[in-house]
Amino acid sequence: MSLFVPSLKARGHLENVHITVGIVGSRKILQDDDYGSKGWSALGQHLTIYGFDADEEACEAANAELETRKVAWQEKHIPLALASQVGEATLYVTGHPACSSLYPPNESLISRFNGFEHSMKPAFSIELETTTIDQFCMNENVEFDFLQVDVQGADLDVLKGARAALESCLLGVQVEVEFIPLYHQQPLFTDIDLFLRDYGLTLFDLVTDNPWCRVTRSCSPIRSATRAGQLTWADACYLRDPLQHQANSTQTPAQILKLACLADVLEFPDYALELLCYVTIKYGNDPIYDFAPVIVEVFSQFSELANQGIDAFVNAMRDRLSSTLL
């Protein structure tokens, strides 16, 4: 649930803000796959979503469903296979379409765990033409602010095809990471983490609430009452942190406002607040970047915060950020 975005929008701070999100592997299977209907919908007309999936029928179904719903944001799904370079690749199709990958399943490993025997069983393979995020952006004159990548082991390949975007415009990435090689020769969490850190992104969370993130051994009739099994994968959320990396930061106040909106939508309200306070203290002489009324309005929703007094909070925040602003 967004705390700050509704007030920012109502007070006109988002008039010149538009956030563009790319979802790589956008097939809608579960309710949570409907990105726009979650916290992102608070952005309304200030949001554009591009979904990418190699399955043309899945893209057509998603676009048809969006047309029926008449959503407030802009969203379209495009049948493209994204990778590290423009060229050709083999797609290994599995028993469950969501497990298909540009890397072949590691059958000897997955046979040791419960739950993978059917979904990741190889069915057939097809040849695909691939392109990159950067090539798409150049062709369509698009700049992404946030990427979500979930392509079953080939996630680092997609990110390598987005180097220009990582250098110029991306403020955050959510990417599926594996901790064991479910696919042959796939990159693991460490590889992705090091790659994104080289581009100045900071790990904010590892989301492991999906029950399939943890698995137990297929040979064992017993399991722990307190541990759900071995952690095999998670969704890793990375964001820029201009306060941490200020010496190398090139983010403008407008970009930091975008980043605050992303943090709010992604349910990091503490970080959103820190960013809004930072911009207010540093750039608040411009009414566009004076977010004090927004902060007061949000705090007024919580009686325990309102009773503490906004002046005391602002003074404390100013003291905390003073060294950062020097």
In this structure, the number of other CB atoms found within 10 A of the CB of residue 44 comes to 15
The answer to whether position 44 is within a domain reads yes
The answer to whether position 297 is within a domain reads no
125 strand-pairing partners: 92
Helix (H, G, I), strand (E, B) or coil at 178: strand
Give the span between the Cα atoms of 67 and 61, in whole angstroms: 10
233 against 117, higher pLDDT: 233
Contact 202, 238 (CB under 8 A): yes
Helix (H, G, I), strand (E, B) or coil at 117: coil
Give the span between the Cα atoms of 173 and 237, in whole angstroms: 6
The answer to whether position 77 is within a domain reads yes
The answer to whether position 216 is within a domain reads yes
Give the span between the Cα atoms of 111 and 249, in whole angstroms: 46
The answer to whether position 229 is within a domain reads yes
Residues 6 or more apart whose CB falls under 8 angstroms from that of 76 comprise 49, 50, 51, 63, 66
HEC string of 4-67 equals CHHHHHHCCCCCCCCEEEEEECCCCCCHHHCHHHCHHHHHHHHEEEEEECCCHHHHHHHHHHHH
In this structure, the number of other CB atoms found within 10 A of the CB of residue 313 comes to 16
Give how many domains the chain has, as a whole number. Answer: 1
Q: Give backbone dihedrals phi and psi of 132, rounded to 5 degrees, phi first.
A: -125, 160
Q: Indicate the pTM of the whole model.
A: 0.93
- Which DSSP letter does residue 174 get? E
The answer to whether position 159 is within a domain reads yes
> In the predicted model, is pLDDT for residue 127 greater than 80?
yes
Give the pLDDT confidence score for residue 176 in this predicted structure: 97
In this predicted model, what pLDDT tens digit does every residue of 66-94 receive, in sequence order? 999 888 999 999 999 999 999 999 999 99
The answer to whether position 294 is within a domain reads no
In this predicted model, what pLDDT tens digit does every residue of 176-207 receive, in sequence order? 999 999 999 999 999 999 999 999 999 999 99
Where in the sequence is the domain holding 102, given as residue range(s)? 17-267
Of the candidates 48, 45, 39, the residue with the CA atom closest to the CA atom of residue 19: 48
Residue 205 region by backbone torsions, left for phi larger than 0, else alpha for psi between -120 and 50, else beta: beta
81 strand-pairing partners: 130
The answer to whether position 320 is within a domain reads no
In this predicted model, what pLDDT tens digit does every residue of 3-40 receive, in sequence order? 999 999 999 999 999 999 999 998 866 556 677 767 89
Domain at 141, CATH number:
3.40.50.150
